[in-house]
Amino acid sequence: MINKIIEYSLNNRLIIIAASALLLIAGIYTASKMEVDVFPDLTAPTVVVLTEAHGMAPEEVEKLVTFQIETVVNGATNVRRLRSSSAAGISIVWIEFEWGTDIFKARQIVSEKLTTIAEKLPLGVGNPTLAPQSSIMGEIMLIGLSSDSTSPMDLRTIADWNIRPRLLAIGGVSQVMVIGGEFKQYQILASPQKMKHYNISLNELLKASKESNLNASGGFMNEFGNEYIIRGVGRTNSLEEIGNAVIKVVNNVPIKIEDVAEVKIGGAIPKIGDGSLKASPAVIMTIAKQPGANTLELTEKIDNAITEIAKTFPSDIKINTKIFRQADFIQASISNIKEALIEGSLFVVITMFLFLMNFRTTIISLVAMPLSLIISIITLKFLGLTINTMSLGGMAIAIGEVVDDAIIDVENVFKRLKENAQKSIESRKSTLVIVYDASKEMRSSILNATLIIIVAFIPLFFLGGMEGRMLQPLGISFIVSLFASLLVAVTLTPVLCSFMLTSDKMLLKQAKGSWTERWLHRYYNSALKRVMRMKKTVLGISLVLFIVAIFLMFGLGRSFLPEFNEGTLTISAVSMPGISLEESNKIGNRIETILLSVPEIPITSRRTGRAELDEHAQGVNAAEIDAPFVLAGRSKEEFMKDVREKLSAVSEANITIGQPIGHRIDHMLSGTRANIAIKLFGTDLSKMFSLANQIQRNIKDIKGLVDISVEQQIEIPQVQIKAKRNMLAKYGISIGQFTEFIDVAFAGEKVSQVFESNKSFDLVLRFNDENRGKIENIRNVLIDTNINPDQQSKIQNLTSKIPLHYVADIVSTAGPSTINRENVQRKIVVSANIAGRDLKSVVNQIKEKIHDTIQLPENYHIQYGGQFESEAKASKILFFTSFMSLFTIFLLLYQEFKNIKLAGIVFLNLPLALIGGALSIWFTGGIISIPSIIGFISLFGIATRNGILLVSHYQALESQGITLYETVMRGSLDRLNPILMTALTTYLALIPLIITGDLPGNEIQSPMAIVILGGLLSSTLLNIFIVPVVYYISNVKCECDISSCSCT
């Protein structure tokens, strides 16, 4: 079939060239329209359910809301994990589905389950809401608003009503969360003393407040042939008009709202979050994108919208859009990998020219490169994938490989054409015949070699979870590029050879080969003769090196993925629960000030607490600080060490340092934003917290462990108002009236909405701060009774209002701050990061330390989560599938040679490659990660190509009746050029990825490139000596008589 393709191409040369040109144009157009992102979509199918539970304590939220939601969704189709967090006033449930589940189907499943829950939730609890669909890298931008003269309330109002709606209107934006400033609210602050004076009950005031701001419909009226709508307009945004609303009339005197309450505009209470910019108050806006949205295009649209909106703002308002921009990381990553790709291509060009010393052959070979990459891009588009660092990385690693097929073909065609040119004119064959025969001569070996490399990548497609999502596009782009290069080599390459290599003058001039070729042949011939004389010594040295490599492999550290260089720090600072927002802000400002003292950090932003309907149930004691940095004059390790040392001075908070995407990957893997999560499951929160602290103390001295933190699920101060039911009955107060009084008086109730043009604000009724600011004030606040003192004269000193402590015990106590659960069990997490050491050895030491020092009570258990869990699972999959891949490679080799012995000789390249791969890891840090393992897998495929070229040529020469020794010597010299050219093009193409491995975008490809480069170096150098030696030893036949032995 391959021969027929070559024949068809040579018979239809113009069609092939035209088709190639059209393919190139179509590919360039497709590439310009494709979505660009930093990584493939790594989002696990997750549905987040948010439920506002107004005024409820965490334990009530857990019992009455979270548990109910967990119960209905637990066991739903394809659900693999349930996580939840119950905090004061909010329940958040994360429902994680199996990888591959359609997210829209997942949301539909959850929505259907939630339809049955409404009657199970307490009164006053909001309807469970599905959070907007987003991705793990959905948080694409932070915007900061600050001003020296505009008030925090006006600043927040501008963010909520001018900027947010405009940004949400941009296609691709899924959510805009605003935190900081003062959330504007119209407030009716009642005075119980004045209410008593005017004999106004809370229910009367509540009813009047609700009716103070209403419109009414009067139907229609027909007059003079026209229909008029009749409207009663009672809505207002005037504080004075709201205050003038009548509650009731006593003795012909109207009692108005302003008589018993202060009507004002103020900030919403309680304030659940705050923001800052460079340690100064600010409003921070977090913009999240929808899955599949093009981050670069979306960021440009947001920038344009912000520029337009900013023109309408007061001049003193400053808008900062440079705090965090995922687009910057994407552009830097794509740019870096493009540079590596271009530099690798230049190395390939130089290598080819040095060997061939002919512009025409170099150009023919190079044509395969852009065409193969273009076909790969078109395939990615067809599969619905994006251009990202992984897909480009696959192409960058394949750069050296995609020209190999063309190099081997062109080199052989050029050699045969030079031989043909030296013959007499009568005995010469036509150029097309020579090109066809020369291409056909190499086709079987190249086809099998290419198939072997493709087979070597198959284990990558067995990876599941996040690692599969991340690395499979790399495999797809590599395999498609390689397959495309094979297609180009059997179609366009022969055609171009037939057009461009026809000059007899050129062919005769280069008949003796290039000076590079002659120099290499001379020295290689001499070296191979020496090796053939000391065969056992050479084999012994190789065996020793292989054994050393095996021992090194077992001693290497293990890790999941290399750390990304995102250019931004994300710092989590969690202080003691129960701390006020004011105190938390002071700690946060101190952290920001410390960070700004680091030369590499120009700006910081902080988000303390949470925004409304944020899917992070963190209290005001938790802050997240974003700090972009630009390295200058020192390494990242030195920079991080400096940051950690300076932040260690902040003893009031547990601090964890990470990066935006890295943080989110950790959170997706283990539910916590750190590399390692030690999850303690149990029932009693106090006991769990005590055990967690014990674990922290026991592991804190382990080398390489940093940012050790215990989830602050401890008890915080509470004021409990416990009803005295007998006294409630005595005064005629029902439990419903009692709880409603507590809710309205202290938490406040939204009674209406006030509209200012297109803006709407809540109108809230509650008691004033003088009656709710201290426990003693709460004790003495007046509650309404249902007993008239004129009718109950026997009860002494009874009025229509009594102090709250008559019917309730008001006590200061404590309760949990947050209750986290996983798979319907309470849990607390001890989290930590790794620095300067491999992941696996640290985790093993942690497990050993906890096993030896921690005694768990009955029904308590520990689970370990984080990156190491994914590393272990992925390594296991790759280990077993690699054996399958190696077996398939051996079968392909047997198919090529129809001889187990010859297949085994070629298979020797694998241990030879292992030597260099293991040594390269050992020299560059000694840690083997998942990308490194994939590097080994691909290396084994690449390394077999050279062996196939040698052994297949040996066979061809032997069939001509040449002696075994002459076969080995001549065959090795004949194939030296293509072997070194293909090895060097692959080798040199990888050097830019290795040199720039610490730059954004190259972090994953660099460990792969290091392994392939090291392994290719050892396998090539040893292959051109070991394979000839082993082939000779395995095929030599000796005949002995009494006096001597002769071997042939």
Task: Tell me the pLDDT tens digit for each residue of 503-513.
Answer: 666 666 655 65
pLDDT at 305: 93
> Would the CA dihedral through 417, 423, 429, 430 be positive or negative?
positive
Domains of the chain and any CATH numbers: 1-33+357-512 (1.20.1640.10), 44-133 (3.30.70.1430), 184-267+717-816 (3.30.2090.10), 514-555+899-1036 (1.20.1640.10)
| Higher local confidence (pLDDT), 329 or 22 | 22
**Do residues 324 and 605 make contact, with C-beta atoms less than 8 angstroms apart?**
yes
Of 192-196, 245-249, 508-512, 943-947, the least confident: 508-512
Of 576-580, 589-593, 689-693, the least confident: 576-580
The number of angstroms, rounded, from the C-alpha of 305 to the middle of its chain's C-alpha atoms is: 27
Quick check: 797 pLDDT over 80? no
pLDDT at 157: 92
Query: HEC profile for 841-852?
Result: HHHHHHHHHHHH
For 453-502, the pLDDT digits (tens) are 888 888 888 887 777 887 888 888 888 888 888 888 888 888 888 888 77
pLDDT at 1048: 53
Within 13 Å and on the Cβ side, how many CA atoms surround 883?
5
For 918-960, the pLDDT digits (tens) are 888 888 877 888 788 878 877 777 778 778 878 888 888 888 8
For 68-111, the pLDDT digits (tens) are 999 998 888 889 889 898 888 888 898 989 888 888 899 999 99
Quick check: 613 pLDDT over 70? no
pLDDT at 510: 58
- Going by pLDDT thresholds of 50, 70 and 90, the confidence category of residue 604 is very high
State mean pLDDT over 1034-1047: 56
Q: Looking at this protein, which amino acid is placed at residue 486?
A: L
DSSP string, 38-94: SSS-----EEEEEEEBTT--HHHHIIIIIHHHHHHHTT-TTEEEEEEEEETTEEEEE
pTM of this structure: 0.79
Average pLDDT, the chain: 83
pLDDT at 135: 67
pLDDT at 505: 65
**Distance between CA 19 and CA 15 in Å, rounded?**
6
Q: Looking at this protein, which amino acid is placed at residue 349?
A: V
* Percent with pLDDT over 90 in the chain: 16
List, in order, residues 6 or more apart from 431 with CB less than 8 Å away. Answer: 417, 498, 501, 502
**Distance between CA 933 and CA 917 in Å, rounded?**
10
Q: Looking at this protein, which amino acid is placed at residue 608?
A: T
Quick check: 380 pLDDT over 90? no
For 397-416, the pLDDT digits (tens) are 777 677 777 777 777 777 77
List, in order, residues 6 or more apart from 173 with CB less than 8 Å away. Answer: 167, 287, 288, 289, 290, 293, 298, 302
Quick check: 261 pLDDT over 90? yes
Among candidate residues 748, 823, 754, the one with its CA nearest the CA of residue 95: 823
**807-841 in b/e burial notation, b at 16+ Cβ within 10 A?**
bbebeeeebbbbbbbbeeebbbbbbbbbbebbbbb
**Distance between CA 368 and CA 490 in Å, rounded?**
11
**Distance between CA 666 and CA 465 in Å, rounded?**
13
For 305-326, the pLDDT digits (tens) are 999 998 888 888 999 998 888 8
CA distances from residue 566 to 24, 325, 998 in whole angstroms, order as listed: 33, 10, 10
- Going by pLDDT thresholds of 50, 70 and 90, the confidence category of residue 799 is very low
Helix 492-500 vs helix 2-11: crossing angle, to nearest 10: 40
**Distance between CA 361 and CA 364 in Å, rounded?**
5
**Do residues 837 and 896 make contact, with C-beta atoms less than 8 angstroms apart?**
no
What is residue 462's three-state secondary structure? helix
**Distance between CA 395 and CA 372 in Å, rounded?**
9
Quick check: 1009 pLDDT over 70? yes
Quick check: 559 pLDDT over 80? no
The number of angstroms, rounded, from the C-alpha of 399 to the middle of its chain's C-alpha atoms is: 26
Of 20-34, 173-187, 341-355, 819-833, the least confident: 341-355
What tokens appear for 106 in the block?
A: 């997942």
* Percent with pLDDT over 70 in the chain: 95
Quick check: 1041 pLDDT over 60? no
- Going by pLDDT thresholds of 50, 70 and 90, the confidence category of residue 833 is confident
What is residue 763's three-state secondary structure? strand
User: Which single residue is written with the structure tokens 């003079």?
Assistant: 224
- Going by pLDDT thresholds of 50, 70 and 90, the confidence category of residue 668 is confident
State mean pLDDT over 254-278: 90
User: Which single residue is written with the structure tokens 């309330």?
Assistant: 153
Of 613-622, 711-720, 959-968, the least confident: 613-622
CA distances from residue 216 to 233, 243, 705 in whole angstroms, order as listed: 7, 20, 66
> Would the CA dihedral through 70, 71, 77, 81 be positive or negative?
positive
Quick check: 10 pLDDT over 50? yes
**Distance between CA 365 and CA 951 in Å, rounded?**
24
pLDDT at 792: 47
- Going by pLDDT thresholds of 50, 70 and 90, the confidence category of residue 625 is very high
Quick check: 798 pLDDT over 50? no
Among candidate residues 298, 271, 279, the one with its CA nearest the CA of residue 287: 298
pLDDT at 186: 94
The number of angstroms, rounded, from the C-alpha of 136 to the middle of its chain's C-alpha atoms is: 5
Quick check: 745 pLDDT over 50? yes
